[in-house]
């Protein structure tokens, strides 16, 4: 068993080393089409709990101008119809999702001089610039259905201001919405080497002093402005940017590493003027009464623990606490919602944004209302950001940020075919009715460029409209996350997390009888695929 896992890890390392940068795991086509569009005869979820079973919506110049079951379609609109086979799930249009916490690395100039009287981990005046636009992350979020994002600096104790942007093309200059947003903080920052702080106690002490200095500066400068005859107080560069968070005019978003960190933050920031928002960790249910008492808004990751593998007797040393958390963690969102805490869900801490759907589906199975789940990625963050008149809902006057999906959105692998950002259509997977039945066993060769070929086996089973399968490489069998047949093409995806990577691996095969050729892509590279069908379902049944 250990040999197989090791071999698979080697395969993943070879695959991930094929390219220097990330490669898209699904094709995307941006459509340069006229500014007026009509999506007709579709199911429309206008907001949580509000559904138009059959209706249309009209977009003009990036804004929704009309939506309803019986509306007039402008003569200059480009018509978007969505053909579907009998028995196929309806095409549903949802509001674009909002990601409330995308961490962005900011290059720190080691040679830059820190302002006098300020520590290098304290940067409340930091602002994200156009050069910080994380193109790969934004593209990945858009393909997962996120159309608006809150970007936050990732380094330090006081990290500075974030910003809000849409996820369209054109970088920050084409997508930024409004002024800098909030102030971001964490107790997790540490100085390098032997510099202070090297411990949690030191980090807390440094932040406490910084908050006190910022409050003193705001009060002293205000007193001096009222009476300039008195001695002018010393000015500490950057601390003016912390004052709005201390007065509650902008939110203070504090990332907690675990439950003890949440309690520590609540003690550090007592109830009062500060508009505190906690970025959670998944164990909030363990001290729900304390959190309910404060009523703090939460940005909640869905990083549920993996099922403990106890098949090998050497790996059965799992603590009772770990087992309890594994069982209870999927109920965490439902418990917070039932407690009345304002709740937003984030893909933060997941290896790929698209994994959020599987986790939300699990949370719904464990008690979270579907309407609450949708609100947590649409209307709740829109209201928090002051964008509830422009985002989070499908209604006249809102930005044309939409997700087009076959059937329901909150399931393990939703079939998202289009994402619209500011009225710009991004086609992800234009599926057509199946023209082949690829069921059977396929012997494949994965071409890894200069690294050579790797043999693999692909087994596909079930009806052509609801196939399942598994890929075996180097003796390790991995189930497919999703299989779609579009025309004469098979599109299969695998959760790379099962193989020690992150994101997804996608395989696209064009089938001609019992032969197939195509390509694949993973988080760090592309590869070729060729193969032959060695057995059909009838052959397998006859042999047994």
CATH number at residue 474: 2.40.128.120
Cα–Cα distance between 534 and 145 in angstroms, integer? 38
CATH number at residue 59: 2.30.40.10
Question: What is the pLDDT, as a whole number, of residue 85?
Answer: 66
pLDDT digits (tens, 9 = 90+) for 116-146: 778 989 999 999 999 999 998 998 899 999 9
In terms of domains, do 470 and 532 share one?
Answer: yes
Q: Which residues contact 47 (CB under 8 A, 6 or more apart)?
A: 95, 374, 378, 379, 392, 393, 394, 395
pLDDT digits (tens, 9 = 90+) for 282-300: 999 999 999 999 999 999 9
Query: What's the average model confidence in pLDDT over 309-320?
Result: 72
Q: Is the CB of residue 445 less than 8 Å from the CB of residue 529?
A: yes
What token pair was written down for 353? 């944004």
Q: Is the CB of residue 201 less than 8 Å from the CB of residue 195?
A: no
In terms of domains, do 268 and 313 share one?
Answer: yes
Q: Would residue 267 count as lying in a domain? A: yes
Q: Which residues contact 335 (CB under 8 A, 6 or more apart)?
A: 284, 285, 288, 367
How many structural domains comprise the chain? 3
In terms of domains, do 110 and 171 share one?
Answer: yes
Segments forming the whole domain that contains residue 42: 29-96+416-427
Question: What is the pLDDT, as a whole number, of residue 485?
Answer: 86
What token pair was written down for 265? 């933050």
In terms of domains, do 205 and 59 share one?
Answer: no
Cα–Cα distance between 353 and 368 in angstroms, integer? 20
> To the nearest whole percent, how much of the chain has pLDDT over 70?
86
Average pLDDT of every residue of the chain: 88
In terms of domains, do 58 and 142 share one?
Answer: no
In terms of domains, do 474 and 375 share one?
Answer: no
Q: Would residue 323 count as lying in a domain? A: yes
Q: Would residue 70 count as lying in a domain? A: yes
For 254, the enclosing helix (H) or strand (E) is strand 252-255
In terms of domains, do 89 and 101 share one?
Answer: no
In this prediction the pTM is 0.79
CA angle 348, 282, 404 (to 5 degrees): 45
pLDDT band for position 82 (50/70/90)? Answer: confident
Q: Which of 215-219, 432-436, 536-540 has the highest mean pLDDT?
A: 215-219
Cα–Cα distance between 296 and 341 in angstroms, integer? 7
Query: What's the average model confidence in pLDDT over 201-206?
Result: 96
What token pair was written down for 441? 């066993």
In terms of domains, do 349 and 470 share one?
Answer: no
Q: Would residue 400 count as lying in a domain? A: no
* Domain end marker among 427, 453, 475: 427
CA torsion sign for 32, 36, 41, 43 is positive
What token pair was written down for 412? 């393990």
Q: Which of 97-111, 171-185, 422-436 has the highest mean pLDDT?
A: 171-185
How crowded is the C-beta side of 206, counted as CA atoms within 13 Å? 26
Residue labelled with tokens 């994965």:
446
Q: Would residue 219 count as lying in a domain? A: yes
For 75, the enclosing helix (H) or strand (E) is none
Cα–Cα distance between 487 and 510 in angstroms, integer? 9
In terms of domains, do 49 and 168 share one?
Answer: no
Question: What is the pLDDT, as a whole number, of residue 18?
Answer: 41
| Cβ neighbour number for residue 466 with a 10 Å cutoff | 9
* Domain end marker among 377, 405, 427: 427
What token pair was written down for 221? 């400068």
pLDDT greater than 60 at residue 11: no
In terms of domains, do 299 and 206 share one?
Answer: yes
Q: Which residues contact 398 (CB under 8 A, 6 or more apart)?
A: 63, 64, 95, 389, 390, 391, 392
pLDDT band for position 90 (50/70/90)? Answer: very high
In terms of domains, do 215 and 291 share one?
Answer: yes
For the chain, percent helix, then strand, then coil, each to nearest 5? Answer: 25, 35, 40
Q: Can you give the C-alpha Rg of the chain in angstroms?
A: 26
Query: What's the average model confidence in pLDDT over 302-319?
Result: 78
Q: Is the CB of residue 59 less than 8 Å from the CB of residue 78?
A: no
CATH number at residue 134: 3.20.20.140
Cα–Cα distance between 485 and 433 in angstroms, integer? 8
Q: Is the CB of residue 242 less than 8 Å from the CB of residue 183?
A: yes
Q: Would residue 347 count as lying in a domain? A: yes
CA angle 191, 192, 195 (to 5 degrees): 65
In terms of domains, do 251 and 271 share one?
Answer: yes
Q: Is the CB of residue 275 less than 8 Å from the CB of residue 246?
A: no
pLDDT band for position 497 (50/70/90)? Answer: low
Question: What is the pLDDT, as a whole number, of residue 492?
Answer: 86
Cα–Cα distance between 189 and 122 in angstroms, integer? 10
Q: Would residue 274 count as lying in a domain? A: yes
pLDDT digits (tens, 9 = 90+) for 403-436: 999 999 999 888 899 999 999 999 886 557 788 9
Question: What is the pLDDT, as a whole number, of residue 58?
Answer: 98
Query: What's the average model confidence in pLDDT over 459-476?
Result: 87
| Cβ neighbour number for residue 27 with a 10 Å cutoff | 14
pLDDT band for position 4 (50/70/90)? Answer: very low
Query: What's the average model confidence in pLDDT over 200-206?
Result: 96
Q: Would residue 405 count as lying in a domain? A: no
* Domain end marker among 427, 450, 472: 427
| Cβ neighbour number for residue 70 with a 10 Å cutoff | 8
């Amino acid at each position: 068993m250990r040999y197989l896992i090791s071999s698979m890890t080697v395969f993943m390392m070879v695959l991930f080393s094929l390219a220097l940068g990330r490669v898209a795991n699904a094709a995307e086509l941006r459509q340069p089409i006229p500014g007026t569009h009509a999506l007709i005869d579709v199911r429309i979820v206008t907001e949580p709990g509000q559904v138009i079973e059959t209706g249309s919506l009209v977009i003009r110049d990036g804004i929704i101008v009309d939506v309803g079951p019986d509306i007039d379609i402008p003569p200059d609109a480009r018509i978007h119809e969505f053909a579907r086979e009998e028995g196929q799930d309806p095409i549903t249009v949802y509001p674009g999702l909002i990601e409330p916490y995308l961490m962005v690395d900011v290059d720190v100039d080691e040679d830059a001089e820190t302002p006098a009287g300020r520590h290098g981990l304290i940067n409340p005046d930091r602002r994200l610039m156009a050069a910080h636009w994380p193109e790969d992350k934004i593209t990945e979020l858009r393909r997962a259905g996120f159309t608006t994002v809150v970007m936050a600096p990732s380094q330090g104790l006081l990290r500075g201001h974030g910003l809000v942007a849409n996820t369209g093309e054109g970088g920050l200059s084409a997508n930024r919405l409004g002024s800098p947003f909030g102030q971001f903080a964490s107790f997790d920052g540490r100085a390098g080497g032997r510099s202070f702080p090297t411990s949690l106690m030191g980090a807390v002490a440094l932040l406490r002093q910084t908050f006190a200095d910022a409050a003193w500066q705001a009060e002293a400068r205000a007193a001096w402005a009222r009476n300039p005859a008195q001695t002018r107080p010393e000015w500490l560069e950057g601390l003016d940017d912390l004052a709005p968070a201390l007065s509650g005019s902008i939110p203070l978003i504090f990332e907690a590493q675990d439950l003890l960190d949440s309690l520590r933050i609540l003690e550090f920031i007592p109830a009062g003027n500060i508009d505190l928002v906690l970025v959670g960790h998944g164990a909030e249910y363990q001290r729900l009464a304390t959190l309910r008492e404060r009523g703090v808004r939460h940005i909640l990751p869905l990083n549920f623990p993996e099922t403990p593998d106890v098949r090998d007797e050497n790996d059965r040393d799992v603590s009772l606490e770990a087992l309890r958390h594994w069982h209870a963690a999927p109920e965490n969102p439902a418990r917070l919602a039932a407690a009345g805490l304002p709740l937003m869900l984030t893909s933060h801490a997941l290896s790929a944004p698209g994994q959020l759907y599987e986790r939300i589906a699990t949370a719904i199975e464990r008690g979270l209302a579907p309407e609450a789940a949708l609100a947590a990625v649409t209307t709740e963050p829109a209201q928090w950001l002051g964008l509830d008149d422009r985002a989070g809902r499908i209604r006249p006057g809102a930005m044309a940020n939409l997700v087009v999906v076959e059937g329901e959105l909150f399931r393990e692998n939703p079939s998202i075919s289009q994402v619209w950002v500011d009225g710009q259509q991004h086609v992800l997977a234009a599926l057509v009715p199946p023209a082949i039945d690829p069921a059977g066993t396929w012997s494949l060769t994965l071409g890894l460029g200069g690294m050579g070929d790797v043999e693999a086996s692909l087994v596909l089973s079930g009806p052509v409209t609801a196939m399942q399968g598994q890929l075996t490489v180097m003796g390790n069998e991995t189930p497919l996350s999703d299989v779609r047949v579009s025309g004469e093409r098979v599109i299969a995806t695998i959760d790379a997390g099962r193989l020690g990577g992150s994101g997804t691996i996608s395989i696209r095969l064009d089938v001609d009888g019992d032969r197939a050729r195509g390509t694949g892509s993973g988080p760090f590279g592309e590869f070729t695929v060729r193969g032959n069908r060695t057995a059909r379902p009838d052959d397998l049944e006859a042999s047994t």
